[in-house]
Structure 1
């Protein structure tokens, strides 16, 4: 009941919940428009999508808090739209460049496999792998992050990075072995895939410092370099991640003097972080990898990627525009615990709980309205694929919300529950694509994703209940529980 009361008592949360429900219902009705509306209404659908997109811009714009205490200044906070665009630079640049270079890449084979397939396999692997490969880096610099001394952070990172990169390389096999078992690729093609993934591992780890320092411009420069190398020499498959990593290595400057080849992270902690990252990342990214395996890459790539864009945009919107407010509210609560009376503590605790609720629901509302926008636009352009678009879009939205709830549970100290949720999602994902034996067709893929929508909405309900149980009294979960266990 507490989970529902939090939605009903806060007018802001109530409005966002209504937006989510209405957008979800309208999205579910989009595939019926072709049988309901007369011929020639495709332009009306495109217009409706454009109007809704403008509504999303209004919905996502920053608003002053009524409490006045949950705003936080970070780099780009005065221009949150610009910060979000910079953070979305990989999505924007790669979606512009890949269609231009795909024909040239398709003309090249690696070990009897089209280079486009090898690159596609790498592209759907790296986001999932990055979640696991970067967690140990945050552990290595974790005690320095509060003071925001970027020189000290850079030196610590450089001290551990070479060994950390080597320690993370075996994770490539976690993805290469299933690919080998599921396809008839030659050794040369598999080796190229593994090498490409390993190079991207170097690249994504090099981005950690830009992310920690909220250096959105440096982040964008990395992806500009990556996209430029891809555009200029699309068949030199190893060049883009190297160019992208080089932009970050140059920016490390004096910190590079601290590079060590012997400083290693503890094997147990490292393995724990890898497993934790794999299970957390599985929620948002595993479906694309499993879909590739069961179809050998023969699926509606453009439709699937366009349909998941709303979830990706909303996910980045949360971390760029809303997560800093949550971090600020948590810092205020820690200060209150140490310095303020209990009456103030209760007020700050309630404010923190409300801030996190609003952040998640705002992200959900932005994401679901964007799913409706993309569904309407693609229904106007390619009505034959609208059912797949809706299924993938809503499923990806559910994956994104489940990921955010898992992140909040992990944030507050519940490390096991998010991993359990991730493991259950991964098992459901594999089952959905294996049980539907025709996922290489548009209808079969839509059916598999439809099954995942039902399953993951149930998981979202479970995760929301667990999240509210721990965030209803954050002062206890963040501090008192640990204090009383000493």
Structure 2
């Protein structure tokens, strides 16, 4: 009841909850538009979708309207949050522009009897999940330096551990390559190309850690611009984009590269713990795409699936660029209050932090669901035959995104095991949906599987929300007092 009261008795969160519910209901009705509405209404829905895109872009460019009480997020760099989000979304924007242009050239080339397009697609849906696990050890290595924000010291520490960290993470490629081979029976040459492409992307995503830690959005965008240009100029040179992208980041490390050593290794136990934790937490957002590829041999409606998941990806990035800094600031304020202020002040600051996190999550959920409705309207006007699949994938991706955010908040506050359990349950549900239900190459088969995941994951979201509220309603206890009383 407490978790529901926090929504009902706060006007801001109540409004965002209403937006989510209304957008969800309207999205569910979009596939019925051809049945319920007279002929010609598809053009009106298309116009509504275009209008929705413009409104959404305006809202994303002015994030102060989505934060608590109209307070804007404070960015120490002075950068405009809208511009920062645009730069952070550069891979989404650039790759969605370039891939359709280069796909015909890739499709004309075979590697080991497999179209290069399929190998690149398999790598593209593997790397985000792989990156979630492979980059966590890097944050552990530099964790004690991040509070001081000394990028020179952070860069030296990262460079000292990166070579060994990269080598230690390479077995992850095998974790994905084995089920891919079992499902597709690709030739050794094709599988080796896939593994090499994943390894190069592993190098690339680890090289981006410093740009992310330092909030260097321009450097982040430069890496993806180099990646996209290489892909556009030489689409069949599959090894060039991740390598060129990584080189932009390596060049920016400058004098920090003098700290590179080959002998320094991260502790095997901590490293393995981070890999497993990253795989389980990353599974929530990315496992479905990998499993979908396995059960269909890559023969699914790629464009529809990727377009439909875009709202969740945009909302997820929106949270970390525009809302997470405000949460971090509120957590830092609570830590100072615990150390310096009387208990009467602590209660107020604690409630403020809890409200801030609630509002950030619900604001992200509202952005994601409204964008999902917009995409559904656009596809109803342009590709009505695929709109059922688009709605199923879009709503499922939204639930994956919310579950990921709740898991992240639980992990943030110190509950490391619960997010891994939630990720493991989600992975099991994905396997059940795609294997037991059976996914064919038809849009209807995919819609049924994703529809089942919507139902199952909304239950997980409810469980995660309850657990999240249990720990964040009194964050001072979870962040400090519980640990203090255990000494």
Task: Pick the TM interval, shorter chain.
Answer: over 0.9
Q: Where do 1:93-108 residues align within 5 Å? A: 93-108=94-109
Residue 43 (structure 1) shift: 1.6
Greater CA drift, 31-40 or 167-176? 31-40
- In structure 2, the residue matched to 1:118 is 119
SS at match of 1:74: coil
Equivalence for 2:383: 382
1:240-267, Cα deviation, whole Å (9 max, x unpaired): 0000000000000000000000010000
Q: CA deviation at 1:66?
A: 6.5
* Structure 2: distance between partners of 1:483 and 1:80: 37
Moved more, 341-350 or 46-55: 46-55
Distance 1:25 1:163, change over 3 A: same
Q: For 1:362-401, list aligned pairs within 5 A.
A: 362-401=363-402
Does the residue aligned with 1:42 lie in a helix, a strand or coil? helix
**CA deviation after TM superposition for structure 1 residue 50, in Å:** 1.9
- 1:80 deviates by 0.9
- C-alpha separation in 1, matches of 2:72 and 2:266: 36
Q: Which residue of 1 aligns with 2:194?
A: 193
Does the Cα contact within 8 Å between 1:284 and 1:403 map onto a contact in 2? yes
Which position in structure 1 is the counterpart of 2:184? 183
Counterpart of 1:14 in structure 2 is 14
Structure 2 portions without partners, runs of 5+: none
Separation (CA, whole Å) in 2 of partners of 1:429 and 1:398 = 13
Distance 1:102 1:66 in 2: 43
In structure 2, what is the equivalent of residue 32 of structure 1?
32
The equivalent of 2:154 in structure 1 is 153
Q: For this pair of structures, how many residues does the alignment match?
A: 485
1:74 and 2:76 are equivalent in the alignment? yes
Question: What's the CA shift for 1:438?
Answer: 3.7
Paired residue for 1:444? 445
Q: Which residue of 1 aligns with 2:460?
A: 459
Q: Which moved more, 1:49-58 or 1:386-395?
A: 49-58
Tell me: CA distance 1:396–1:66, structure 2 relative to 1, closer, same or farther (3 Å): closer
The yes-or-no answer on 1:347 pairing with 2:348 is yes
TM-score (norm 2): 0.98
Moved over 3 A (4+): 57-60, 64-71
Superposed CA deviations along residues 107-155 of structure 1, whole A, max 9, x for unmatched, are: 0000000000000000000000000000000000000000000000000
With the length of structure 1 as denominator, give the TM-score of the two structures: 0.98
Deviation at 1:74, TM superposition (A): 3.5
- Residue in structure 2 matched with residue 136 of structure 1 by the alignment: 137
> Which residue number in structure 2 is paired with residue 407 of structure 1?
408
Q: What is the alpha-carbon distance in structure 2 between the residues aligned to residue 407 and residue 439 of structure 1?
A: 33
- What is the CA deviation profile of residues 176-214 of structure 1, one whole-angstrom value per residue up to 9, with x for unaligned ones? 000011012101000000000000000000000000000
Unaligned 5+ runs, structure 1: none
Alpha-carbon offset, residue 435 of structure 1: 1.7
| Whole-angstrom CA distance in 2 between matches of 1:374 and 1:473 | 38
Aligned position for 1:469? 470
Q: 1:483 to 1:68 in 2, by over 3 A?
A: farther
Match of 1:235, SS state, is: coil
8 Å contact kept, 2:159–2:257:
yes
Q: Does 1:423 align with 2:424?
A: yes
- The Cα shift of 1:9 comes to 1.0
Q: Deviations over 1:272-308 (max 9, x none)?
A: 0000000000000000000000000000000000000
CA drift of 1:42 comes to 2.0
> Is the Cα contact below 8 Å between 1:113 and 1:189 reproduced in 2?
yes
SS of 1:63's partner is helix
User: Counterparts of 1:183 and 1:438 in 2: how far apart (Å)?
Assistant: 15
